């Protein structure tokens, strides 16, 4: 019997010819990523680790340190990297949100297993990697032993057909899926089909990242020409993609006709069965607009926002925050003039960090405020007060809405 | 591995932000623990006692990798039961030494204040108050090993990876 992409990767990592849904396997992990939070709370430096060449340390969630508690993570991380000779150490200045840094340094590779504490590690699925969040204790264990266990969940396949329309992005594909099908708890998701060619890499990563919000285990894309183009620019080591077999077993196969999609917005609380076309929420006034996070702080997201905002102004009474996903994105956005266009329009462009996305620093919202965000989560209290409302949409929708002062379909604002 | 404890029931898709809000991540663990369910059930952390059990519905623990289990342990919570867990949350609980068992239908047989009896080896739980009982899947051996060690870190310490 055939295997899905994720089954193939897990079988390979466990040294088995075949795995099936329901089976528990012990996998060798190809890349283990530690983030600053790991060093902030409960860190004890290990006496030995499995392989320093398979470890990366990325400072991302709270940098530069907003509190003393976070500041103390820095020296511990630096000592660990120094003592173990970790070459892949992305300290402040080379930093960025870990999933972005993983992508731009080619750490998520086809057919391999990547582990990181953070729940959005599934982002690496955009590059055909079995990547998922595993929590601090488990990642610490993998750091020491080099392996961990997975129970293979059933796989649902999304078959993409036709072409994505202009101003409709990966965020909208995700919101459509979440709104229509709800959560995928204890399921793997797989994306493929002829329509995939019209979905650029940054949009694939948005989708893979956001599968955490529907509680999926792994979210994996196939390797096509578009993906190869990205990988050629980001890794020089050979890799072996995991393609799904023709006779792979799926729990369900769902077709999405990309040409029928439009901009969507998730209402506050959850994305599951809670996303609607933007046109149904127009004129909801907003206080804060945010473009950033591992899902939508990519260079292309900033370009989209800059193109919409260039020569225009953020509406009075609205704050627009833009957080590049990494220092590299920040530098590229400066060179390409995106930062200038955004700042001239009245946006606050911040340092790269998780910051506002998890209501930690730079952009916390107050009770009674309405926030429209292009980040990952619209949970109650996620970005500050539990009495703030958080709506979630694409960077284009957020940028257009910041100009309008209320939620608006970007296709109207641009026309 | 059998335990008995007083029950607190919460709903579906309770998120990690509802249990370990972002602002609490700036606090030391004992203080952070005072904020579990801060908005969902204000005041709960004053009522929960050593040995209590939390019962939840579907998709329990949707969200981030924050070590929520450490907060429950700090509050004395002895076990979590749910109709269904988010897999990251479930792993996190086990790895921090907090027993968590998936029991489809469990939320329906408990109300706040009932007493639960749970056997993790045999994989069942019973409402001692009403006598309703559900048989589910037992915890696998390797998961029981992690729990018996008190979580992954004590296990790694025993294996010589971490200073004791
Ligand atoms: S940007 Fe937000 S979702 Fe992404 S890793 Fe940071 S806190 Fe998590």
Share of chain B above pLDDT 90, in %: 98
- Measure the CA angle with vertex A371, ends A367 and A373; round to 5°: 145
Closest by Cβ to A270, choosing from B13, B160, B161:
B13
Number of domain units in chain A: 2
Q: Is A294 in the pocket of ligand 1 (CB under 6 A)?
A: yes
Answer yes or no: do A55 and A203 share one domain.
yes
d(CA A9, CA A192): 16
Torsion (CA) B81, B83, B89, B92 in degrees, nearest 10:
40
Answer yes or no: do A254 and A285 share one domain.
no
Answer yes or no: do A236 and A307 share one domain.
no
Report whether A133 contacts A120 (CB < 8 A): yes
d(CA A396, CA A278): 11
The closest alpha carbon to A136, from B66, B70, B56, belongs to B66
Q: Which residue, A258, A280, A314, sits at the end of a domain?
A: A258
CB contact under 8 A, A141 and B96: no
Answer yes or no: do A207 and A335 share one domain.
no
CB contact under 8 A, B95 and A37: no
Domain limits for position A159: 5-258
Query: Which of A60, A61, A325 best tests ligand 1's pocket when mutated (most atoms within 8 Å of CB)?
Result: A61
pTM exceeding the 0.95 threshold for the entire prediction: yes
The closest alpha carbon to B150, from B107, B75, B71, B93, belongs to B93
Q: Is A392 in the pocket of ligand 1 (CB under 6 A)?
A: no
CA–centroid distance, residue A386 to ligand 1 (Å)? 18
pLDDT at B118 over 90: yes
CB contact under 8 A, B88 and A41: no
To the nearest whole number, what is the mean pLDDT of chain B?
Answer: 97
The closest alpha carbon to A130, from A104, A108, A147, belongs to A108
Answer yes or no: do A230 and A155 share one domain.
yes
d(CA A200, CA A179): 22
The closest alpha carbon to A102, from A120, A86, A85, belongs to A120
- Structure confidence by residue, pLDDT tens digits, A77-127: 999 999 999 999 999 999 999 999 999 999 999 999 999 999 999 999 999
Per-residue tokens: A374: 């292009």
Answer yes or no: do A34 and A179 share one domain.
yes
Answer yes or no: do A187 and A283 share one domain.
no
C-alpha torsion sign, points A230, A234, A239, A241: negative
User: What CATH number does residue A318 fall under?
Assistant: 3.30.499.10
Question: Which residues of chain A carry a pLDDT beneath 70?
Answer: 415
Q: Which residue, A236, A258, A280, sits at the end of a domain?
A: A258
Residue B45 exposure: Cα atoms within 13 Å on the Cβ side: 20
Structure confidence at residue A20 (pLDDT)? 97
CA–centroid distance, residue A368 to ligand 1 (Å)? 24
Q: Does B21 touch chain A (CB under 8 A)?
A: yes
CB contact under 8 A, A359 and B22: yes
CA–centroid distance, residue A237 to ligand 1 (Å)? 28
Place of tokens 């999926």: A216
| Helix, strand, coil percentages, rounded to 5, for chain A | 40, 20, 40
Burial B127-143 (b: 16+ CB within 10 A, else e): beeeeeebebebbeeeb
Superfamily assignment of B2-158 in CATH? Aconitase, domain 4 (3.20.19.10)
d(CA A243, CA A110): 10
Structure confidence at residue A415 (pLDDT)? 59
Which stretches of A211-363 are DSSP H helices? 225-234, 293-296, 299-309, 327-335, 338-344
Residues of A in contact with B151 (CB under 8 A): 137
In DSSP terms, A67 is beta-bridged to none
Residue A58 CB partners (closer than 8 Å, separation 6+): A33, A34, A35, A36, A90, A95, A96, A98, A101, A102
Q: Is A184 in the pocket of ligand 1 (CB under 6 A)?
A: no
* Mean local confidence (pLDDT), B71-86: 98
Q: Does A210 touch chain B (CB under 8 A)?
A: no
Per-residue tokens: A178: 């979440």
d(CA B123, CA A85): 45
Answer yes or no: do A108 and A211 share one domain.
yes
Residues of A in contact with B39 (CB under 8 A): 380-381, 386
CB contact under 8 A, A186 and B91: no
Residues of A in contact with B65 (CB under 8 A): 117-119, 133-136
Q: Which residue, A203, A237, A258, sits at the end of a domain?
A: A258
Q: Does B29 touch chain A (CB under 8 A)?
A: yes
Q: Which secondary-structure segment (H or E) carries A69?
A: helix A68-71
Residue A390 CB partners (closer than 8 Å, separation 6+): A268, A365, A371, A373, A377, A378, A379, A380, A382, A383
Q: How far is CA A287 from CA A280, A317, A404, B8, in A?
A: 19, 7, 11, 37
Answer yes or no: do A212 and A309 share one domain.
no
Best interface-test mutation with A: which of B145, B161, B163, B164 has the largest number of A CBs within 10 A?
A: B161
- Structure confidence by residue, pLDDT tens digits, B47-61: 999 999 999 999 999
Report whether A221 contacts A131 (CB < 8 A): no
Closest by Cβ to B39, choosing from A119, A358, A380:
A380
How many CB atoms sit inside 10 A of residue A310's CB? 14
Residues of B in contact with A185 (CB under 8 A): 58-59, 62, 84-87
- Structure confidence by residue, pLDDT tens digits, B148-159: 999 999 999 999
Q: Does A37 touch chain B (CB under 8 A)?
A: yes
Closest by Cβ to A119, choosing from B18, B63, B142:
B63
Domain boundaries, chain B: 2-158
Per-residue tokens: A25: 């396997």
Structure confidence at residue A182 (pLDDT)? 98
C-alpha torsion sign, points A349, A354, A360, A364: positive
Answer yes or no: do A254 and A398 share one domain.
no
């Amino acid at each position: 019997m055939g295997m899905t992409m994720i089954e193939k990767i897990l079988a390979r990592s466990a040294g088995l010819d075949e795995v099936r849904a329901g089976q528990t396997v012990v996998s060798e992990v190809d890349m283990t990523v530690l983030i600053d939070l790991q060093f902030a709370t409960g860190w004890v430096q290990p006496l030995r680790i499995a392989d320093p060449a398979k470890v990366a340390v990325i400072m991302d969630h709270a940098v530069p340190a907003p509190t003393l508690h976070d500041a103390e993570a820095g020296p511990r991380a630096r000592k660990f990297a120094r003592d173990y000779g970790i070459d892949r150490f992305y300290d402040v200045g080379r930093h960025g949100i870990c999933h972005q840094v993983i992508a731009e340094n080619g750490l998520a590779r086809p057919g391999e297993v990547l582990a990181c504490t953070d729940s959005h590690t599934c982002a690496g699925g955009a590059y055909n990697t079995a990547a998922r969040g595993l929590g601090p204790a488990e990642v610490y264990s993998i750091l020491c032993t080099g392996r961990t266990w997975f129970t293979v969940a059933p796989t649902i396949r999304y078959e993409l057909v036709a072409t994505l329309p202009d101003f409709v992005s990966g965020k909208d594909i995700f919101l459509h899926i979440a709104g229509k099908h709800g959560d995928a708890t204890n399921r793997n998701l797989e994306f493929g089909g002829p329509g995939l060619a019209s979905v650029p890499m940054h949009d694939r990563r948005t989708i893979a990242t956001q599968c955490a919000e529907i509680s999926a285990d792994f979210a994996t894309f196939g390797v096509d020409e578009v993906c190869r183009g990205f990988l050629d620019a980001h890794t020089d080591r050979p890799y072996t993609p995991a393609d799904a077999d023709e006779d792979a077993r799926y729990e369900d196969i769902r077709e999405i006709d990309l040409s029928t999609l439009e901009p969507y917005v998730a209402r506050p609380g959850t994305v599951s069965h809670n996303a609607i076309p933007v046109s149904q929420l127009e004129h909801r006034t907003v206080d804060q607009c945010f473009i950033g996070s591992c899902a939508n702080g990519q260079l292309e997201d900033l370009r989209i926002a800059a193109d919409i905002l260039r020569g225009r102004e953020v509406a009075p009474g609205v704050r627009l925050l833009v957080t590049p996903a990494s220092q590299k994105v920040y530098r590229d956005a400066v060179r390409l003039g995106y930062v200038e266009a955004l700042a001239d329009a009245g946006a606050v462009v911040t340092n790269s960090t998780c910051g506002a996305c998890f209501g930690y620093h730079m952009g916390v919202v107050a009770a009674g405020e309405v926030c429209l965000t292009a980040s990952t989560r619209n949970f109650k209290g996620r970005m500050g007060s539990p009495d703030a409302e958080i709506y979630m949409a694409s960077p284009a929708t957020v940028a257009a809405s910041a100009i309008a002062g209320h939620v608006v379909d970007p296709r109207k604002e641009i026309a | 591995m059998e335990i008995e404890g007083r029950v607190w029931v919460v709903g579906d898709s309770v998120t990690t932000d509802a249990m370990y809000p972002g602002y609490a991540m700036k606090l030391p663990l004992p203080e952070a623990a005072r904020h579990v369910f801060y908005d969902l059930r204000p005041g709960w952390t004053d009522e929960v006692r050593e040995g209590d059990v939390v019962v939840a519905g579907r998709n329990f623990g949707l969200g981030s990798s924050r070590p929520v289990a450490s907060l429950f342990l700090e509050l004395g919570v002895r076990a979590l039961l749910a109709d269904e867990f988010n897999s990251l949350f479930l792993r996190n609980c086990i790895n921090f030494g907090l027993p968590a068992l998936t029991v489809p239908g469990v939320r329906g047989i408990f109300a706040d204040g009932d007493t639960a009896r749970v056997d993790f080896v045999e994989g069942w739980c019973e409402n001692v108050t009403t006598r309703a009982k559900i048989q589910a899947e037992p915890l696998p051996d390797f998961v029981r090993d992690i729990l018996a060690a008190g979580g992954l870190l004590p296990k790694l310490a025993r294996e010589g990876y971490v200073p004791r």
